[in-house]
Amino acid sequence: MDKDKVMGNKGLVPYRILAGRFITATVLGLLGYLINCYPVPLFSNIELVLGNTVILLCASRFGPVYTLWCAALTITGLAQTWGHPYVYLTYGLEALLVCLLRKRGWYLLYADFFYWCFIGMPLTALVVHQFFTIPQDYQFFTVIKQGFNGLLYTALASLVSLLIPSGWFRAIRQQPNVLRTFRQKLVHAVLVMLSLVFMISMLVASRNLVVTQQQLLASNLRERSAHLVHEYHRYLEYHQRAIFLASQWLSDGVPEAQWQARLGQLHRQYSGFLTMLMADRNGLVTQASPGHLIDAGQSHSVSDRDYFKVPLAENRPFVSDLLQGRGFGRDPIIALSAPILNERHQPVGIVEGSLDLTQIASEADQSHWGDVATVLTDGTGRVIFASEGLKVNPLTPFEFNQLKEIQGFDLSLMNIHSTSNVVGEYFYNQVALENGWQLYVLLPYRPLAERLEAYFTLGIGLLVLGMGLTILLARQISAYLTAPLEFLVRKLVQSQQSDDPLGRLPALPRGSALEVRTLYDELETNRIALSEYQHSLEDLVTTRTAQLEAANHKLAQLAHRDGLTGAYNRRYFDMQFEVARQHCVRSNSHLALVLIDIDHFKSVNDTHGHLVGDDCLKSLVMLIHQHFSRKLDLLARYGGEEFVLLLPQSEPEEVLRRLESLRQKVSETALSETADGQPLHVTVSMGVLVEQAEYSTLQSDWVMAADGALYKAKQSGRNRICKAFSNKDAPVSADSA
């Protein structure tokens, strides 16, 4: 039951890890979603994205599946804010590639720098060109800004990744921990700090530049607007006064015969009028300037015009909305009119002047922002006047697309020529005149964007140059710091591979740091201590080796000897038999194998005890060794009271003679004493085989032959020697006693 429980717990571990990864990726994705819902405004409608930092953090710890899930959540906030789904392509591909490169051991900064330089910015340029109505001039800046933004949040993610404690995400981590050199770590850390500090400094400086420029631009627009409003009012009042004075002159009794001359004189004095005319109470034009506008025999009526109806009906001056000339030309005009009164102050006609709209605004002004353009519309929104560069036709409704207002500066952006364009064409300021007209003062957006574009282009160029110089500098610094350590490690490795691994270390290079020199001194001290300890160990090992060899020799002897009698044991006999036989084969000599058995030994043990029997065995072994003392002779205890004697290079007659001497010696010698002190005599029976070594290669054949002879000796009365005889087919035995 306990085993099943343990196995069950182990089975739950992977699911917990998967759940931990999914929850962590989801939390990071939601955090990135919230951050991307509020992008940081940089300039105009240009914004910085910082929420993607969490995508790279996820890529630095987890695999592609969880990284893409985190990216999907994070990019959704950006897609909702910008309203463009293309961000799923560029940023999703970024998340996948960075995750895969990170799995191969790349740093985040290097992986994302590679992506934006070789994939991200070209892909952004292609997407912008194909799917966005952005002017060609702005596309390059958009691409540069995206690359800068990518490097910014990458550097931020790299810094956060370096600051995250190593224990975090350990249990659910998927990305490998790559073993790096000190030089690689130093270069990366310096690059991260340099990139982040440089880009933040650049953002702060650019932000200050943009704020200053936008303040100046807003101030310029307000000043120009106030100036133009004043000029427009002055221009209208000036010509309104002229019409009013004309109506006064004509009402004060100027003879009608002089009206044409007075009208021509007034027109020459006020050149802002395109034409001037007088009409009677029926609306028929009676005088006009220039005079050739009225041909002989032709009549022109203005009775349907508001500039005729209103003064005549309300007995007051009148300023018309924008209208198109009729009869005296097709130009768009603004009509100024006033009633002509008789002695009873009743209107008898009107005097009217058509303003020249090309002079209603001063010539296009110049500023360091570019051409200052103006658009003036009447109360109905139709264009009264527009600067020539705007290519806006008078009498047409003024249509434009207002983009997002820039907070804090009273600035707005508009598009005139392409209402679907996401990039503004003009900064503008809108002012209402007293008569209901609307004045738009416009400054081009492009000059400021060009400055910012040049600033960011230069900044990225300097960043790349700075990163290159930083790599060189960091490598030099790391080489300066690590060269002594590398030198020391290299020498230590060489020393370990040499004959004297504890030899004296070489001197450090000049200029080594104090910490490295302290380490060197400590290593040298340890080397001396280890050398002394090694010598003491060598002495101790020598002593212990000698003791071990003696013990092994003794152990080998004990392993091959019979513990009671001191003779070799049967195992040793089995091992040495073939050696002795081969020796006889090489010397072409006889080999003798003798089985010796104590007669009636069981009765000795039963009558006198095993201790007496053991004494008999020991004494017998001593007697045998006295008779057979050559180094080649081998005596082994073969059974309880049975011994085997192996005699290489022996002559048959000599063997039998010596064995007979041994038999007699045993029968005459008291091998032990009984319990009452009486000497104990025993006899032995022997079976012997003496043959050429080629007799048989099997030890069992030799033993069986000798055993058969021993059996005959026992059957023949004991205390005798029987010799085994053999032919080429099989060994046989015969009595030789």
Q: Cα–Cα distance between 731 and 607 in angstroms, integer?
A: 38
Binned average pLDDT, 10 residues per bin, the chain of 737 residues? 40 73 93 90 75 92 93 92 85 93 90 91 86 72 83 89 81 84 81 83 78 81 84 85 87 81 86 87 86 64 88 88 71 86 86 79 48 83 82 84 66 74 77 85 80 75 78 76 72 66 67 72 79 83 85 74 88 92 92 94 89 91 92 90 93 93 92 86 94 91 94 93 69 38
Q: Taking the mean position of all CA atoms in its chain, how far away is CA 279? A: 86
Q: Where are the beta strands (DSSP E) in 543-693?
A: 568-569, 590-598, 634-637, 642-648, 670-673, 679-681, 684-692
At 414, list the tokens: 């508009």
Q: Cα–Cα distance between 547 and 267 in angstroms, integer?
A: 139
Are 112 and 91 in contact by the 8 Å Cβ rule? The answer is no
3-state helix, strand, coil in the chain (%, to 5): 55, 20, 25
Phi, psi of 686 (to 5 degrees): -135, 140
Residue range 526-549, pLDDT digits in tens = 778 887 887 888 888 888 888 888
Looking at residue 677, what DSSP letter applies? S
Q: Cα–Cα distance between 724 and 735 in angstroms, integer?
A: 8
pLDDT of the residue at 366: 45
Are 599 and 684 in contact by the 8 Å Cβ rule? The answer is yes
Q: 């740091």: which residue's tokens?
A: 513
Are 245 and 254 in contact by the 8 Å Cβ rule? The answer is no
Q: Cα–Cα distance between 476 and 66 in angstroms, integer?
A: 39
Q: Which residues of 407-427 are buried (b: 16+ CB within 10 A; e: fewer)?
A: eebebbbbbbeeeebbbbbbb
pLDDT of the residue at 621: 92
Q: Taking the mean position of all CA atoms in its chain, how far away is CA 184? A: 14
Q: 């221009």: which residue's tokens?
A: 235
Residue range 461-491, pLDDT digits in tens = 777 787 788 778 777 777 777 777 777 777 6
Q: Cα–Cα distance between 188 and 475 in angstroms, integer?
A: 10
* pTM for the full predicted model: 0.55
pLDDT of the residue at 3: 40
Write the DSSP string, 133-162: ---HHHHHHHHHHHHHHHHHHHHHHHHHHH
Q: Cα–Cα distance between 647 and 325 in angstroms, integer?
A: 153
Q: Which domains does the chain show, CATH number per domain?
A: 2-179 (1.10.1760.20), 253-359 (3.30.450.20), 498-560 (no CATH), 562-735 (3.30.70.270)
The one-letter amino acid at 726: S
Q: Cα–Cα distance between 512 and 506 in angstroms, integer?
A: 13
